[in-house]
């Protein structure tokens, strides 16, 4: 119930609309409940007494009960839809905002499709159960208590037979909700896993085709779909037992009306035919809301499972936070430094320990080493994607944990190995760096990244839509656009993480020349496997298993004949080719 109660707070934001919805629903129910009483009056006081002149009044009264009941119901549906969409938007907005605040470590451990499933499907399940459950549950209770009261006022003995199954039905519903909770949790987890697999297949479509993996992926999808089917059928099986059982028990009330009501109709002159019809009418109306309440237990079981998945995200701790009292980021050139840093990724062995490295102001520092040596980890710590376990990361002597995250990252330009572009125009993607940039500055950034020529050749130039993740561009073109975006941002500190690994040698040389011209008085970190991109760096740092094993200039490190020299000679043929 804690999960449902927490979700209900979203509903309370619109309490006026929700209460009005309930009032309309109850009003509609009261009009509908008055119809059997009017029918009894028409049968006993008009038809039985053959008052032909009043028959039309009776017909109009019965029709009026239904008309005004459905009129209020129509207004209820309209308001219900408005409240439903408001609650959905609020829940999804809070989830989206939390997802943007969550640290990188959260996404390292989850699939994209599984997270998306929580934002779309689970939120909808929770909202539907909350709003429909509260409204329909309230109306159903009005029907149950209203009809029960009317039955006891008409004939207590017969009413007792009719309502006798109610405690049994309520117990069965409560028990069903408890038993099926875990089943629906497993169903939601399987649905999230299936969504994750689907997103992977969509994003990796080209890889699947290039490696002829269609049959393999079909088998994986079929296996996951079978798991979902099996778990859904398990949960549905319990419903298939519970629902008919509760319906049968409810039908015993109708049997009681026919048997006991027929007996009273024959033996008791005060029990009129009109009262018998009204009893039968009310009895049929009683079990419809009971079925609704039974369905709500099923809906609430699903919603509770979905709600727990939603609140797992909303309650997830944010390990990387803004400081309570932030320090202003320094203006002008910056110097960065890692002092006595110890860090390990979650659920992994220690990666770097007692790590000290300075990035001098206005100089280019290159990190080289084998995969897994800790190069990208250093960049992650500078950007504060993760916080160090011990030690400090400093910018101009101030711990980066004292800066606002947005301000820190606004002053660091980052070009990743895998370029990411949003579905939109080239201009829209560039302006992510600086919305107020002039058209001339956009052109200059494109020229600096050697992107202007190919952009101008596109059908709509800078207004060309490039598709999801820039799918309509080559890898080299996408990388150059991300570099142009950093150039437009013009930050004092630039991190290039394998930034030129996806471009040809000629383009790489042009980009290097452009970057050198624009990096005056800027601090630069280059992470590279291809040593041709770092030979002009002011200092080259060689990492091995999270430790600095060599540090110096290109020629100095070659003369030392250590790790760097071995890497250089291993790549000599490639480097010679790239420099020709």
Residue at 485 is within a domain = yes
From 266, 284, 314, give the residue that closes a domain: 314
Please write the tens of the pLDDT for every residue from 447-463. 888 788 888 888 888 89
Same domain, 354 and 277: no
Q: Using a pLDDT cut of 70, give the percent of the chain over it.
A: 89
Residue at 322 is within a domain = no
* Full 3-state SS string of 7-54: HHHHHHCCHHHHHHHHHHHHHHHHHHHHHHHHHHHHHHHHHCCCCHHH
Strand partners, 357: 338
Structure tokens at 70: 């459905």
Q: Does 393 have pLDDT greater than 90?
A: yes
Residue 32: name the closest of 76, 59, 75, 70 by CA: 70
Distance CA 292, CA 297 (A): 9
Query: What's the pLDDT score for residue 502?
Result: 60
Please write the tens of the pLDDT for every residue from 517-547. 666 678 999 988 777 778 888 899 999 888 8
Same domain, 310 and 350: no
Residue at 330 is within a domain = no
Distance CA 206, CA 305 (A): 35
Domain, as residue range, for 421: 336-579
Q: Does 239 have pLDDT greater than 90?
A: no
Residue at 324 is within a domain = no
Q: Using a pLDDT cut of 90, give the percent of the chain over it.
A: 12
Query: What's the pLDDT score for residue 342?
Result: 92
Q: Which of 157-161, 201-205, 231-235, 239-243 shows the lowest per-residue confidence on average (mean pLDDT)?
A: 201-205
Q: Does 339 have pLDDT greater than 90?
A: yes
Residue at 566 is within a domain = yes
Residue at 323 is within a domain = no
Same domain, 243 and 301: yes
Strand partners, 364: 524
- What's the number of domains the chain is made of? 2
Same domain, 440 and 569: yes
Structure tokens at 200: 């992977």
Residue at 19 is within a domain = yes
Please write the tens of the pLDDT for every residue from 18-32. 889 888 988 988 898
Beta-carbon count within 10 A of 572 CB: 11
Query: What's the pLDDT score for residue 238?
Result: 77
From 314, 348, 367, give the residue that closes a domain: 314
| pLDDT interval class at 294 (50, 70, 90) | low
Distance CA 120, CA 124 (A): 6
Same domain, 278 and 420: no
Same domain, 45 and 88: yes
- 468: domain CATH number? 3.40.50.300
Q: Mean of the per-residue pLDDT values for the chain?
A: 82
Q: Does 575 have pLDDT greater than 60?
A: no
From 260, 280, 314, give the residue that closes a domain: 314
Residue 285: HSE in the Cβ half-sphere, 13 Å Cα cutoff: 26
Query: What's the pLDDT score for residue 80?
Result: 83
Q: Rg of the chain's alpha carbons, rounded to an integer? A: 35
Please write the tens of the pLDDT for every residue from 464-509. 888 777 778 877 788 888 888 888 888 899 998 876 666 666 666 6
Query: What's the pLDDT score for residue 557?
Result: 87
Distance CA 390, CA 351 (A): 12
Query: What's the pLDDT score for residue 580?
Result: 46
* Residue with the two structure tokens 């208590």: 145
**Contact (Cβ atoms closer than 8 angstroms) between residue 415 and residue 495:** yes
Same domain, 267 and 358: no
- 128: domain CATH number? 1.20.1560.10
Same domain, 467 and 504: yes
For the whole model, what pTM was predicted? Answer: 0.68
Residue 176: name the closest of 352, 301, 287 by CA: 301
Same domain, 302 and 352: no
Same domain, 217 and 297: yes
CA distances from residue 284 to 247, 260, 272, 542 in whole angstroms, order as listed: 12, 16, 19, 82
Same domain, 281 and 416: no
Q: Is the dihedral of CA 226, 232, 235, 238 positive or negative?
A: negative
Residue at 529 is within a domain = yes
Same domain, 196 and 301: yes
């Amino acid at each position: 119930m804690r999960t449902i109660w927490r979700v209900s707070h979203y509903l309370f934001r619109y309490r006026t609309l929700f209460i009005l919805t309930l009032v309309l629903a109850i009003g509609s129910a009261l009009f509908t409940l008055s119809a059997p009483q009017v029918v009894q009056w028409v049968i006993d006081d008009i038809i039985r007494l053959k008052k032909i002149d009043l028959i039309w009044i009776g017909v109009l009264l019965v029709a009026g009960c239904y008309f005004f009941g459905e009129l209020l119901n129509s207004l209820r549906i309209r308001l219900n839809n408005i409240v439903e969409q408001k609650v959905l938007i609020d829940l999804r907005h809070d989830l989206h905002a939390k997802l943007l605040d969550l640290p990188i470590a959260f996404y390292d451990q989850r699939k994209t499709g599984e997270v998306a499933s929580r934002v779309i499907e689970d939120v909808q399940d929770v909202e539907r159960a909350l709003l429909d459950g509260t409204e329909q549950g309230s109306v159903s209770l009005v029907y149950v208590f209203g009809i029960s009261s009317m039955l006891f006022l008409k004939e207590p003995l017969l009413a007792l037979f009719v309502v006798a199954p109610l405690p049994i039905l309520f117990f069965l519903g409560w028990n069903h909700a408890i038993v099926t909770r875990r089943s629906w949790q497993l169903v939601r987890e399987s649905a999230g896993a299936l969504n994750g697999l689907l997103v992977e297949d969509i994003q990796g479509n080209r890889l699947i085709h290039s490696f002829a993996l269609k049959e393999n992926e079909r088998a994986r999808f079929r296996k996951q779909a079978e798991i979902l089917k099996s778990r859904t059928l398990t949960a549905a099986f319990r419903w298939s037992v519970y629902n008919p059982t509760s319906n049968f028990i409810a039908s015993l009330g109708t049997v009681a009306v026919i048997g006991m009501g027929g007996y009273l109709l024959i033996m008791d002159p005060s029990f009129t035919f009109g009262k018998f019809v009204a009893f039968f009418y009310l009895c049929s109306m009683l079990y419809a809301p009971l079925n609704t309440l039974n369905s709500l237990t099923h809906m609430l079981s699903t919603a509770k499972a979905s709600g727990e998945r939603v609140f797992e995200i909303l309650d997830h701790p944010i390990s990387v936070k803004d400081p309570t009292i932030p320090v202003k980021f320094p203006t002008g050139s910056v110097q960065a430094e890692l002092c006595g840093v110890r860090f390990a990724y979650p659920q992994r062995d220690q990666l770097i320990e007692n790590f000290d490295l300075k990035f001098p102001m206005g100089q280019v520092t290159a990190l080289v080493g084998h995969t897994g040596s800790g190069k990208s980890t250093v960049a992650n710590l500078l950007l504060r994607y993760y916080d160090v376990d011990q030690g400090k990361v400093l910018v101009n002597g101030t711990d980066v944990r004292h800066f606002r995250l947005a301000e820190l990252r606004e002053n660091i330009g980052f070009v990743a190995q895998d370029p990411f572009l949003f579905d939109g125009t080239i201009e829209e993607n560039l302006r992510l760096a600086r919305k107020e940039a002039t058209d001339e500055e956009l052109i200059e950034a494109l020229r600096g990244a050697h992107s202007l020529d190919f952009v101008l050749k596109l059908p709509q130039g800078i207004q060309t839509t490039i598709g999801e993740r820039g799918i309509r561009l080559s890898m080299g073109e996408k990388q150059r656009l991300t570099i142009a975006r950093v150039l437009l941002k013009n930050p004092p500190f630039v991190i290039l993480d394998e930034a030129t690994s996806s471009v040809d040698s000629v383009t790489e040389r042009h980009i290097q020349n452009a970057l050198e011209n624009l990096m005056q008085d800027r601090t630069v970190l280059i992470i590279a496997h291809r040593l041709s991109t770092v030979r002009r760096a002011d200092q080259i740092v060689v990492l091995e298993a999270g430790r600095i094993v060599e540090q110096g200039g290109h020629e100095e490190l070659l003369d030392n004949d250590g790790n760097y020299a071995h890497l250089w000679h291993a790549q000599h043929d490639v480097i010679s080719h790239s420099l020709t």
